[in-house]
Structure 1
Amino acid sequence: MLFRKSRSAAIMVIAALVMAGCGEGEPEPTSHQTSLFGYAVNSSLATTNAASLLGVATDAGLLAARVYPGVYVQGPSGQMIPNTDLASTQVLPGINRQVIYTINDDATYSDGQPVVCDDFLLSATAGQMPELFQSHVPLASQIERVDCVSGSKIATVVFKEDLGERWRYLFGQGDLLPAHAVAAKTGMTLEDLNQALKDKDPDVLADTARIWSEGFQLSLFDPELQVSYGPYKIDSVGEFGEVKLLRNELYSGDQAVEEEVTVWPKGSDLSAISNAGNLQISDVVAWESEPWVNRDDPLNPYDIKEEVGVLTEQLTLASAGVFYAAEARQAFAACVDQEAVAAASSSISGIDVPAVGVHSVRHQNPVVQQIGDLPAQHMAVDVNAASALAGQTIRIGYDGPDERKAAMVEAIRQSCEPAGITVIDASQEAVSLNDLSRTEVSEWGYEQYFDGTLDAVLRTVDPLREYENANTIGTDPESTRRTEEQLWAEVPSIPLAAQPRVFVIDRTVGNVVVNTDLAGIGWNMDRWSRSED
């Protein structure tokens, strides 16, 4: 049975456990019993760098949203809310759109160093040099340059000719990282790093790129590197992969209500945490599969919120190996049955989600109904077209374990089998886009091939951030159709279905606002307030 515990009662239980642990042979209490406010996410919590190949494949924004919040925060209705605690913006129209970011004078990292334009320059350069930095920020390719005097509070982003329509989707949660801390790890001054980023010399930036890509991994938690400018800072990473957040006293905005929050990764023993009264908010695959949630129990302390999310689940395809050629990617897309995949997802989550046949806009955007039958054409299964790939094996990975995504991969296996294509579930913990076989173009212009362990990664994306050739915000049917035609010709990815979201919320916690975006329900974590009752 589940019993509601007040904070004071929880503290008494912990004290009793600690005293009992002092007896001979008694085990010490684990963090399941000692953490006082728990937030469980459906992510492996691998990194706080949401722009890295690891971060985009493991939904790093769920944690990074209140450690490294974006210039714009996406609200529960998809609205882009200016985060003036970090920076304000001014747009100068023209052939080369310019966006001036004026950083808040009080914006400061938890180590006392100011947030400066170098942080924007590092983020943009990392996105512009994806092979070196192992990054995935497609919209960064639309940037021509970032004007930044090292240490300044003003960054001016200049876009390439006629590009930058989606500028608000740059510098999102987990994208802006502390340039001064990265520079210190490489032995450079901030001024030296600034110049190196502008020069884009791969040899000079090699160490910087490695630290940017790997240094924010939570298995290697480095408190000197992972300093925060958000309302929370990371205090420690526990033995079960849980991340303890503490209130960032140097945050430029309103101080967080709760002094600490422990974020639990997928695979955690949520029953043990809940039974100790320490699980307040959870983002789960399906509430029916969680034994600690019992709607029939009169003492059940939880409410359940089920939503069809705004994001799209897609297969990101390799660019080398079996999927080197666009024709091979087209053949595989021909055997993927989006309707069957959506049904499989729905059967596990309990939420009826729609199949999706568009890449570059959100599935609920009215423009989808205005581009004719293009999505339906590409969602139709064509076994004859897919048989061009007969005899091939396709390895699909995802951030596991995940019962729902396993069902989605099984649906793909079944629909592709008649075409002679073998689909293998190759899921693993903390999957990365770096696991894909890929083709990279060297600085001298020739192609390099890297063998990976995967041919496709099943992951969640915001279509408005995902494609470098997309240059509208989804209000123009004609340009949206052109973009979709190009993406269905190149097939860098295959859209599948809307993402279902299931949230379990302790009724004693106030100011919880459901959000199905990349930041998840934790988008306003600093406003959560737990009552004593």
Structure 2
Amino acid sequence: MTAGFAAVAATALVLSACTSSPGGDDPTTGESSSDTADPSAEPTEAYEGTDKQDLGDVTTVDDQISYSLGEDEWLGYNGNTPETYSTYNSVVNDRIQSGFTYFGTDGTIYVNEDLGNVELVSEDPMVVEYTIADDAVWSDGTPITYDDALFSWATQAIADGQDADGADVPLFNYVGGLDLGSRTTAPVGEPGGKTFTLEYTNPYPDYMISTLMQFPLHVAAEQAGTTSEDVIAAIEAADVEALRPVAEFYNTGWLSPTPGTLPDEAIALSSGPYVLSSWEAGQSITLEANPEWWGTPPATSTLVYRFAAAETQVQALANGDLNIIEPQATVDTVSQIEAIGDSVTLLTGPSLTWEHLDFNFNNGPFATSLPLREAFAMCVPRQLIVDNLIAPIDPEAVVMNAREVFPFQDNYEDVVSQSYDGRYDEVDIAGAQAKIAESGVAGPIDVRIGYSAPNARRTEQVALIKDSCDQAGFNVTDVGNDAFFDQTLPNGDYEVALFAWAGSGQIASGLSIYSTGGGQNYGGYSNADVDAAWQALSSTLDPAEQQAEIVTIETNLWDDLYGIPVFAHPGVTAFDSTIQNVRDTATQSTVAWNAEQWVRAN
């Protein structure tokens, strides 16, 4: 993957949970009539495709468009570590780091023809051929080549010995661990070349989104005091000691721990339509058009990503301080946007982002007690949460009873009917009290629910949960804070974590979330049957076999109570009506998925 993103509205972490489910039905994208084939022309009919529209000959307009997803700071150029893999980071990095593919508005995977091509050339053995555009260069003018792809593969494949349990320890701090390396042999190509192949040991359904182009090898080599040629030789020989300085730079040198301090432009190179320009801590980060960009020119010269708190976004849009927002969908927010009038366009539609409550299996009362987890699930008022907070925005909203499929997808009912028996559909206080008694733990049982705050909707959810679960014998405490994703969650300072995974069209994105030792398995859950099912799911191209494994996974996650799914997020986007080519999406990519196409009419 991408993996899943943990999301705030969106993962993201809006982490982007960079994450979770396969796409099914084509969700309504709610595209605006301001989409047009010519950025300088008057609005025409809405574009009906789910890919990026061909805008014809584009001339970059000297203008500025501002957008906000939320108030979280940018975390760094390397957004592939477990600590930085988030939607908030990706909305910026996706404009400066080109990949071979991208997600359309419905989760369909499309080839990014600006960078090159991806083609499955053999199924047995499974071999994928990559072609890099002849004129593709980093923003310092260095050609993008096979060398960079090999480096990307190595960050996901080279182990630094084993831990006490005999598991391989990654040399590079990559969010997906060594998954790609476990599935493939090293890419085959010529140093400095523009084509290479990647062979998989078993069929892999998500091959189109394997990450094989993000960071410049020549920069990492130079910063490590060596050369690209020597790094390539070390990768081919799996020489860990020779690669260690390169890994140290990868793990730390492309991070930005001091907000407001951009990395040196010679280090944080762009392979996309924009380059990093400026960063004002707590306020915004600005991108400017990349003068070395070889693809379709960006429609607007300057993009400003503002770190705006959710409660300020609608007013900022009305005032013109923000041009595009993607706020959390609340009844009040939608009403406020509608009240602005015709100067603002409102888009709504289903999303592949879903809310969940996850238990801490590393420590605390739920870690080793299934009865306590069951008791908590019995008292969480999921239907009340949906009725009060989601249904007024989306009358079709339902309680979500799966993790890997969504209510608007064709196979949802089939999967749920085989994996979940409705045992937590209704609040059962008496049943919860009985389960607490069965656990042998004396009450009241303290339960800290952590989430990224401020977040009005999550605050309301916790209040509803407390009203219900305190009756059963729990003492629920709201510990939402603004350091949830970078401190509370990784440090395990919670009993229950409340956030969202933002999905895409990936089939096996949950592998890093639910498998033992997975990079996004923050709660420390482990089940050998789930691990085996994920391996089987991620090793077949057969849709029927994939669904069978999803049913196995869902069944075990319900029986173990990894966590509690609550609802799929309704998507809300609002923007200045004079801006064209703004198209919402159901995926984790956010409305900024085609930000290089945004342009103000005339």
Please classify the TM superposition score into its range, dividing by the shorter chain length. 0.7 to 0.9
1:400 is paired with a residue whose SS is: coil
Q: 1:359 aligns with which of 397, 403, 410?
A: 403
Q: Which residue of 1 aligns with 2:204?
A: 164
Counterpart in the other structure of 2:510: 466
Other structure's SS at 1:356 match: coil
Letter in 2 for 1:402: N
Where do 1:367-516 residues align within 5 Å?
367-371=411-415, 372-377=417-422, 379-380=424-425, 383=432, 384-385=434-435, 388=439, 392-429=445-482, 431-432=484-485, 435-436=488-489, 451-455=491-495, 456=497, 458-462=499-503, 464=506, 465-467=509-511, 469=534, 470-471=537-538, 475-476=543-544, 477-489=547-559, 492-516=562-586
In the alignment, is residue 285 of structure 1 matched against residue 313 of structure 2? no
Q: CA contact under 8 A between 1:56 and 1:136: conserved in structure 2?
A: yes
Q: Is residue 317–residue 324 contact of structure 2 (8 Å, CA) maintained in 1? A: no
Which residue matches 2:68? 40
Match of 2:298 in 1: 256
Give the partner amino acid of 2:74: A
Q: Which structure is richer in relative contact order (CA contacts within 8 A, separation 6 or more)?
A: 2
SS of the residue corresponding to residue 399 of structure 1 reads coil
1: CA distance, partners of 2:447 / 2:215: 35
After alignment, is 126-135 or 461-470 more displaced? 126-135
* 2:176 maps to which of 137, 154, 162: 137
Aligned to 2:386: 342
Partner of 2:36: none
Aligned mates of 2:381, 2:419 — CA distance in 1: 15
Of 399-408 and 138-147, deviating more is 138-147
C-alpha separation between the residues in 2 aligned to 1:490 and 1:123? 36
Q: Given the alignment, which residue of 221, 224, 229 partners 1:186?
A: 224
Amino acid at match of 1:190: S
* Aligned-residue offset at 1:115: 2.5
TM superposition shift of 1:334: 5.5
Query: What whole-Å deviation, never above 9, does each CA across 1:335-357 have from its counterpart, x for those lacking one?
Result: 54543443454178677633222
Residues 274-299 of structure 1 deviation map (CA, whole Å, 9 limit, x = unaligned): 4663422111124765699564456x
Residue of structure 2 in register with 1:13 after alignment: none
Structure 2 CA distance for aligned equivalents of residues 505 and 65 of structure 1: 20
Distance 2:154 2:361 in 1: 22
The corresponding residue for 1:9 is none
The equivalences for 1:83-102 within 5 A come to 83-94=112-123, 97-102=126-131
SS at match of 1:256: coil
Are 1:82 and 1:88, in contact at CA under 8 Å, matched by a contact in 2?
Answer: yes
Give the Cα separation in 2 of the matches to 1:217 and 1:168.
35
Give identity over the alignment, percent: 20
Shift of 1:492: 5.0
Q: For the structure 1 residues 292 and 408, does the alpha-carbon distance in structure 2 shift closer, same or farther, using more than 3 Å as the test? A: closer
- 92, 96, 100: which is aligned to 1:67? 96
Q: Find 1:233's aligned residue among 265, 275, 292.
A: 275
Q: Following the alignment from structure 1 to structure 2, what is the Cα–Cα distance between the partners of residues 136 and 347?
A: 35
CA distance in 1, matches of 2:436, 2:88: 31
Which residue among 203, 214, 223 is the counterpart of 2:255? 214
Does the C-alpha gap of structure 1 residues 220 and 133 become closer, same or farther in structure 2, counting only changes over 3 Å? farther
2:362 alignment partner, one of 293, 305, 320: 320
Q: Contact conserved, 1:196 with 1:204, CA < 8 A, in 2? A: no
* Amino acid paired to 2:353: L
Deviations 1:144-203 (CA, angstroms, capped at 9, x unpaired): 33325554433433334x34112223329xx82334333333333333444555627385
Worse-matched range after superposition: 82-91 or 458-467:
458-467
Partner amino acid, structure 2, of 1:171: T
AA at the equivalent of 1:211 = T
Q: How far has the Cα of 1:116 moved from its partner?
A: 2.9
> Which one-letter code corresponds to 1:38 in the other structure?
S
Contact 1:286–1:348 (CA under 8 A) maintained in structure 2: no
Counterpart residue number, 1:30:
none
| Counterparts of 2:154 and 2:423, CA distance in 1 | 35
Q: Report if the CA contact (8 A) 1:334-1:379 is conserved.
A: yes
CA contact (8 A) 2:82 2:173 kept: yes
Query: Which range moves more in the overlay, 73-82 or 422-431?
Result: 422-431
Aligned residue number for residue 309 of structure 1: 351
Pair 1:291–1:516, CA change in 2 (3 A): closer
2:135 maps to amino acid: D
Check the 8 A contact 2:259/2:281 in 1, yes or no.
no
For 2:380 and 2:254, locate their aligned partners in 1 and report how far apart those are by CA, in whole Å: 32
SS in 2 for 1:89: strand
CA distance in 2, matches of 1:64, 1:354: 34
**Aligned equivalents of 1:408, 1:244: Cα separation in 2:** 34
Tell me, in whole angstroms, the C-alpha distance in 2 between the residues paired with 1:46 and 1:340.
35
Give the direction of change, closer, same or farther, for the CA distance of 1:216–1:74 in structure 2 (3 Å limit). farther
Judging changes above 3 Å, is the alpha-carbon distance between structure 1 residues 359 and 386 closer, same or farther for their aligned structure 2 residues? farther
SS at the partner of 1:188?
Answer: coil
Q: Which TM-score applies when normalising by structure 1?
A: 0.77
Letter paired with 1:452: G
Deviations 1:203-238 (A, max 9, x none): 556513422673488654203333221122221112
Query: Which segment is superposed worse, 324-333 or 275-284?
Result: 324-333
Displacement after TM superposition at 1:254 (Å): 0.3
1:55 to 80, 84, 98: 84
Equivalents in 2 of 1:349, 1:166: separation in Å? 33
**Aligned residue for 1:247?**
289
CA offset digits 1:128-149 (Å, max 9, x no partner)? 5786644433764752333255
Give the TM-score normalised by the residue count of structure 2.
0.69
Report the secondary structure of 1:436's partner residue.
helix
Range with greater deviation from structure 2 (228-237 or 108-117)? 108-117
Contact 1:39 1:264 in 2 (8 A): yes
2:240 aligns with 201
Q: Residue 14 of structure 1 aligns with which residue?
A: none
> Structure 1 residues 162-171 or 199-208, which shifts more?
199-208
Aligned to 1:28: none
Distance 1:264 1:369, change over 3 A: same
Unaligned runs of 5+ in 1: 1-34, 438-450
Separation in 2, partners of 1:311, 1:355: 13
Q: Kindly state the Cα deviation for residue 93 of structure 1 after the two structures are TM-superposed.
A: 4.2
What does the per-residue CA deviation read over 1:421-476, in whole Å, with 9 as the maximum and x for residues that have no partner?
44443333354367435xxxxxxxxxxxxx53345351323173222514268942
Q: After superposition, where does 1:73-152 map in structure 2 within 5 Å?
A: 73-94=102-123, 97-127=126-156, 133-137=172-176, 140=180, 143-148=183-188, 150-152=191-193
Which letter maps to 1:267?
Answer: A
The AA in structure 1 aligned to 2:214 is: L
Give me the whole-angstrom Cα distance separating, in 2, the residues matched to 1:279 and 1:303.
13
Distance 1:433 1:278, change over 3 A: closer
Matched to 2:328, the amino acid is V
1:244 is displaced (CA, Å) by: 0.8
Distance 1:483 1:276, change over 3 A: closer
- Structure 2 SS opposite 1:180: helix
Sort the Cα spacing of 1:350 and 1:320 in 2 relative to 1 into closer, same or farther, 3 A: same
